[in-house]
Chain A
């Protein structure tokens, strides 16, 4: 390789700064609502003020007469759309002004279109509706609740290996505890936004989404259009965390408003509207029962989870799924049940299932350790799973022991006192806690193309294309690195294009699967291009450039698809980690601070040390929020979200985050996928709430089993002091 010609390569793994960094720090990156469109009109949604209701009357007359208003759509005048097809939750059941039924508070009941945002907003406030509302159900904990096992949902509801009931009845030690987690809203800082532009029967939708292909398919189906007539563009996305993984009602409503007015229409949800119609993490109630021998060997685990869904679609928060694979145990039983509430359908949120489930399971492990008089880390090591307990398959790789060792050492876990409440600093009680982190490695079919062009001076430019997304995870950057590496080009000569359905299809940016899926496709297509040139003897950059200059247009384009193949099922695939936290609790005020968190994670090959670390940090920050701050409050009388704003819905601020010492453990995994990576976007949140809960107990002897752990639960006895 002649580096003199091709410059320095940034090898995969290097802590390269983001290729889109400059665009983001200068404001040149245009997010959806910022795409300039000539003559764009603004649509504003009117949300219902009732749930479990029917619309008796809706008065749009004042709004319609206001300056600048061109259309007010309600269920009375909105055109009927083809019946919804497709299977939830990939394509959601939407509320598109098709009838007078109101399921949840905030459900769209009208859409106002005007020439300016202020005029549309003002007119939207003048639309009045009256409802016949019945009392809503807003909390899964209510008398006489009707639980059911969903027939078809996003995950298998139940699992059983061995005989948990029998093993529990004979267990030497047994604990059974209930844990709850609240509704949590994703709250990306960029609100959902859509711009719809019709040109004849051709439609362009700019949308802030984790899945451009998904939006295209949903819109095409909803409007009965051939998929080719719909183009969806999403080049910069201001965070998603799961809420932008589905196409929610406002997207087709924007398209409808544009069609009905003949204008390009922009629709941006307000922060309040981000609560209700765009999903949330479901409230859960989880009972974990553990049976063990006195030496700590688990003989049975039962994990029963109840979560809510809406009245019109089953979404299952897969909280107990983590229990199927985390610890070695011959008898494991898990169940999930749903309860219908009068709320919008919940959805995936960063580590759906693993975040909520690891709180319950890992807290229960702590409680069992205490019962046995064991160190919590020792109990986990005692039950280390060498093979996947669920499938019996070997792990493609598992370096959890090393994670425990490294993180425990850096944290100073050996200094932990066996008795809770033993560490004090004046009025401050200090506690240590730990937990296991894990997240499965997913992969979906993906495709990509590469176009190589000779610059006529012995150099090569590459353009790599795929309809993937960069939601802040660094897709632009790591794909550039992967392509540069596979092609033997310097990163400056590679341009990455994504976020457009005109490019080769890629899966959603969800389930931490982008690197494994789209990355494998990008690498495959670049290798394929090299193979084609090598067939003619062009195997080094100079001869490749010469070969390209002889091609028509001095260019070569290759497109390829990549998906899991034969033998890929032979292994269980998960990333693992260990997280240790210190908390400091003010004994008079109950205020909880988290001065430091130490974590070690093993996730296969790391494509970019800098952006990968940021993903871990982001996940851990979410863990702190989930542990101590986040909870969506619903008024039980009206099912209205009471803290639908960023002041009263608390997310971590800068001052909430102490020192984070997070690192990756080197892990070479030849089995997991062609490029040896595991997803890292979600593992960071897992384990953190349990580790914090354990540390709070260690500091205060108060076991809080109900998230979030707010100070009232410490000073007013919301927890239990056992």
Chain B
């Protein structure tokens, strides 16, 4: 069935069966492949996106449920050539190795900026623990998030 999604500020019309997850619709049909599939079961965080500005797991949402909602994927984060401060901070602090969990980490980290997360590193670790990184880039991820928070970015 046809469904029109607003993805990164643009309407995208897809023809999907009702059982298609948002994650597969993005990756297989919209060819927006920044959003990753690590488990397909809501267990790894690799598919984290924003729906109306809040972080959600795209593998646990059906595409047809999201008409009218504002979906942001990693592709929609940078302003043209200019990286979002979180993207730049991830590069600077080497907050990744293979990069496969990274889109989900960055989308979580950006959403966290508007969440009631405490100030300490431990608070950030807790708030970022829904995003697994098998490469173990956790210290760099925490450093990146803290740098962006301290600079007051949103």
Contact = CB atoms under 8 A, between A and B. Distances in A.
B74 interface: yes
A9 interface: no
Contacts of A116: 17, 28
B129 A653 contact: yes
A188 B40 contact: no
Interface string A615-649: 10111111000000000000000000000011100
B140 A614 contact: yes
B99 A118 contact: no
A25 B97 CA distance: 11
Interface stretch (B50-58, B83-91, B146-154): B83-91
B137 A653 contact: no
Interface string B105-135: 0100000000000000010111011111111
A554 interface: no
Q: Is the interface of B mostly helix, strand, loop or mixed?
A: loop
Given A17-B92, A22-B91, A473-B97, A190 B136 contact: no
A610 B102 contact: no
Nearest to B35: A27
A613 B125 CA distance: 20
Contacts of A237: 98
A646 B42 CA distance: 9
Interface residues of A, number: 59
Interface string A398-425: 0000000000000000000000000000
Q: Which of A26, A30, A651 has the most CB of B within 10 A?
A: A26
Nearest to B102: A24
A271 B24 contact: no
B99 A620 contact: no
A384 interface: no
Interface string B76-104: 01100001000110111010111111110
Nearest to A23: B99
Contacts of A188: 98, 100, 134
Given A24-B102, A25-B83, A646-B38, A17 B134 contact: no
Interface in A233-271: 236-239, 241, 268, 270-271
Contacts of A36: 31
Q: Which of B97, B132, B141 has the most CB of A within 10 A?
A: B97
A34 interface: yes
B64 interface: no
B134 A241 contact: yes
Given A21-B91, A118-B19, A238-B99, A645 B39 contact: yes
Interface in A1-53: 17-18, 20-31, 33-34, 36
Given A25-B87, A647-B43, A654 B94 contact: no
Nearest to B140: A614
A288 B138 CA distance: 34
B37 A191 contact: yes
Given A36-B31, A238-B99, A620-B136, A654 B83 contact: no
A189 interface: yes
Contacts of A614: 94, 97, 135, 137, 140
B135 A472 contact: yes
Given A24-B102, A239-B135, A618-B136, A472 B97 contact: yes
15 contacts: A21-B91, A24-B96, A25-B87, A26-B75, A36-B31, A189-B133, A239-B135, A472-B96, A614-B97, A621-B136, A646-B39, A646-B132, A652-B138, A653-B129, A654-B142
Interface of A: 17-18, 20-31, 33-34, 36, 116-118, 187-191, 236-239, 241, 268, 270-271, 471-474, 610-611, 613-615, 617-622, 645-647, 651-657, 660
Given A26-B77, A117-B24, 15 more contacts: A21-B90, A25-B90, A26-B83, A27-B33, A27-B74, A28-B34, A31-B100, A33-B37, A188-B98, A189-B133, A271-B41, A646-B132, A654-B126, A655-B125, A655-B129
